[in-house]
Each structure stands twice: as structure tokens, then as C-alpha cells.
Amino acid sequence: MAVYAQLRALPFHRAAVSLGVYWADEHEIPTEALIGDALSTGCKLYLPRDAAMPAWVRWHPDTPLRDARGGVKEPLDGVPTDLELPALVLLPVVAWDLSGTRLGRGGGFYDRLLAGIDPCVVRVGLAYEFQEFPELPRDPWDVSMHYVITERRVVVCGDGREASVQKGGLQP
């Protein structure tokens, strides 16, 4: 898949020691191959858990997943933890714009999840070209993406040029 190939070619992907990732449903960019690749290279995987305070949970393939609110797959077990730096977070996208604003399934789950992570973590939306809009509504609590990767291109969004995972020397 083109999105996967473009992501793998980026220096910040190769340098990441941990990956925050979503388990895709049928309408989202598939992540199964990315998850398999990360596991084969020893990258630490984290999946989101929907709770009173959304958090990242370290995930291993032997940890069962359950359906959470909105159909999101989350680990059945695991302790909420911070992503180990340098880290990369992949985000599902329903709609996006060049400023890095994204719309998801609603409810602000990912905005609450991202608000609590280290600002050095590189945030990448995986999207289709047809999901791009000239401008999307933005609330004060929305957390922007640094990059969007589509089947055709890698888009540097808003503050993406300044994004940096300083621990470990990761430079997008």
C-alpha cells in the first residue's frame, strides 16, 4: 500500500522506538501491515484505551482486544503508560486540512488522548486524498497533526516543520 511505503521511507519512522497506533476498521487506512512491521523490528507498540481518562497501553499480540466505544479496538489488559521516546503516533482520519486539523469519529477521544502525551511525539494522520477539505472547524482543545500521509503524498501540516522528538535526535 502506498501510504505504508511512504511512511516507512520517512526518517522519523525509522528512528522511532515506539509507535502509538490504532487498529483500523474497514473505513480507515489499514494498519495491520504497519503493526506487523513494527513488531518484527522490535518497535514497542501502544494502542489507545478509552476510559475516563484516555491513555496509551503497551500492546503485545498475545494481549486480546475488545471493542470499545465507537468500535475502537483496545487492549483488554495493560497499564496506562507514556510512549517511550522517540515516538510516533498514527491517527485515523475522517477528514483533514492542510493546517493539520483532523476530524475523527467525534467525541474528542483522540484530542484528549493526545493532550496528555509528550509534545515531542510526532503525530501523523493516515488518510485518503478525498478526505481533504480546504478548511475544517477547529476548537481550542483540538490537537493538530504534524503530517498527513495519503495514497499520493506526504503533507507537512501547520507546525510540522518545527515538530521534533529531541530525545534520541529525531528530526522530521
Find all residues with CB under 8 Å of 105, minimum gap 6, and list them: 70, 71, 92, 94
- Nearest-angstrom CA–CA distance, 59 and 119: 22
Per-residue pLDDT of the chain (172 residues; tens, 9 = 90+): 789 999 999 999 999 999 999 998 888 999 999 999 999 999 999 999 887 788 999 999 999 999 887 677 889 888 899 999 999 999 999 999 999 999 987 678 888 889 989 989 999 999 999 999 999 999 898 899 999 999 999 999 975 544 433 333 344 4
Q: Domains in the chain and their CATH numbers? A: 2-162 (3.40.50.10420)
pLDDT the model gives residue 159: 54
pLDDT value at residue 167: 36
Q: How far, in Å, CA of 157 to CA of 99, rounded?
A: 5
Position 144 scores a pLDDT of 93
pTM here is: 0.89
Distances (CA, A) of 19 to 87, 106, 138, 141: 6, 23, 26, 23
